[in-house]
Amino acid sequence: MSLSKPPTVMYAAVPILTLIGLLVLNVLYFGADASYGPNQIALLLAASVAGLLAYRQGLQWNDIMEGILKSINHAMPSILILLLIGALAGTWLISGIVPAMIYYGLNILTPKVFLLATCLVCMVVSTATGSSWSTAATVGVALMGVGQALQVHPGLVAGAIISGAYFGDKMSPLSDTTNLAPAMAGTDLFTHIRAMTATTIPSMVIALVLFAILGFTRTGQADQAGIDAVQQAISQHFNISPMLFVVPAVVIFLIVRKVPALPALLVGVLLGAAFAVVFQGWLGQAQLLESISPLGEGYATWERYFSAITLSMYGEVGISSDNEVVTGLLKAKGMMGMMFVILLVITAMVFGGVMESAHFLQVLVEALIKKVQGTTSLVTATVGSCIFFNLTASEQYVSIVVPGRMFSDVYARKGLPPQLLSRSLEDAGTVTSVLVPWNSCGAYHHSVLGVNPLMYLPYCFFNLISPFMSIFITYLAYRKKPWAK
């Protein structure tokens, strides 16, 4: 059933204002813990307000529910990936993969170059895989551990990881968003990528310079005694071997070969379990798996191995060490540790589903379009809309699909190339999603890296610069002929 009459801008803005007010209160009263329950409640309350307003406009409950289910359905792949990432974190911990990354990383990285090297490594991996999520969950987790051992501020480390990871998410032809944006705008993939170089390369160069400066000015000297102590503690608990890197190499290879994320991650989980049995069971001197197992000594060895691996996939496991740094580094929460993120994604999709089914989001975007006067203002409106949807619909794909659908006709009528639209969608929609704590991307990286988005936001230089660079480059290119091609 359609609405009895189109909602006004002020009417459509009420749920958004409600959500913003509740989120501000959550930050004030709950601080870094806001994402662990309060933000989910805020999204549900704002969705309730939107539903009541939609009902008053003539939308029936069945229509609202259909919009909610459709929105949640879009997020199901992300939810399944989150569950597998939780299992991956557990098996890669008990197998020694993550400890080995930390152990060897401490040999080659110093505080002065660490931030720059972190960003560059994540750039390479994410460009090869096309996935910021996979990059953060693999090399990102290890680099967070190295940064902690080097006593580098966690917000800085996470900012460098995310900046590098989202470069590849934006530029790699393997990335889903890099394929989605040109499809929405009506251009081809490689034309889209070429168009993005004009804004992406300058943004990343500035980010790398900033990370280099911070590395030399805000990080101290390495505590070699502390580093040696961390490595010694790791080697006491784990059988460390370069062979452990076979598992992440296989996962990266599968993603490069365009194997879908779910089966690729599942392979990573199963290989992690197998390597745990071989390296920390049969070859492990300290019998790590038996110490983790919830079963007592009366059970067979294979039963204790099985229970330890199963526990690592779904529950919390950790290594108790005399070294507090190692104890803090070497722990994982499995699938259950991802539940607050999944709850956040679901409640965000509920809010976005109600807002879209009631046409509230479309009304607000169309109000922006009416203010457009020239090319730069059109791109600014596109960038602003993408950020708006990341804040409200809480889903990266929505921030690309909805503005892409709504602005494509406007760009065509003005005679502007479709790659200008596709570039603008990625410059804002793709990269700013991770900065929003209640967005699925922000919630995911919070869970994987263990750093609140509000803590890493100031240091995600690439993500912060990209939207402004998009507007600036457009201004330089079109300042003389506002509607020129």
CA–CA distances in Å: residue 290 to residues 89, 99, 304: 19, 18, 6
Alpha-carbon distance of 386 to 467, in angstroms, equals 10
Alpha-carbon distance of 461 to 469, in angstroms, equals 12
**Residue 318: strand pairing partners:** 331
Residue pair 118/300 in contact (Cβ under 8 Å)? The answer is: no
* Residue whose structure tokens are 């909805």: 402
Alpha-carbon distance of 153 to 173, in angstroms, equals 33
Model pTM score: 0.69
CA–CA distances in Å: residue 350 to residues 67, 98, 343, 355, 396: 8, 35, 11, 9, 15
**Residue 399: strand pairing partners:** none
Q: What is the reported pLDDT for 129?
A: 61
Structure tokens at 340: 């607050």
What type of residue sits at position 61? W
Q: Domain boundaries in the chain?
A: 75-485
Per-residue DSSP letter, 441: H
Q: What is the reported pLDDT for 3?
A: 61
CA 211 from centroid of its chain's CA atoms: 20
Predicted confidence pLDDT, tens digits, the chain (485 residues):
456 677 888 888 898 888 878 877 876 787 656 767 887 888 899 899 999 999 888 888 888 899 889 888 877 877 887 788 788 888 988 888 878 877 887 676 777 888 998 898 888 778 766 678 878 877 788 788 888 878 888 999 999 999 999 998 888 765 767 777 887 777 877 788 889 999 999 999 999 999 999 988 866 555 566 667 778 888 888 888 899 989 988 987 887 777 877 888 899 999 999 999 999 887 765 577 877 888 877 788 888 889 999 999 998 888 777 777 677 667 778 888 878 768 877 887 788 788 888 888 778 777 777 777 788 888 998 998 889 878 876 667 777 877 776 777 778 878 889 899 989 999 999 899 899 887 878 888 988 888 989 899 999 999 999 999 999 999 998 775 554 44
Alpha-carbon distance of 152 to 295, in angstroms, equals 38
From the list 358, 281, 395, the residue with the least C-alpha distance to 55 is 358
Q: What is the reported pLDDT for 460?
A: 95
From the list 435, 446, 448, 425, the residue with the least C-alpha distance to 170 is 425
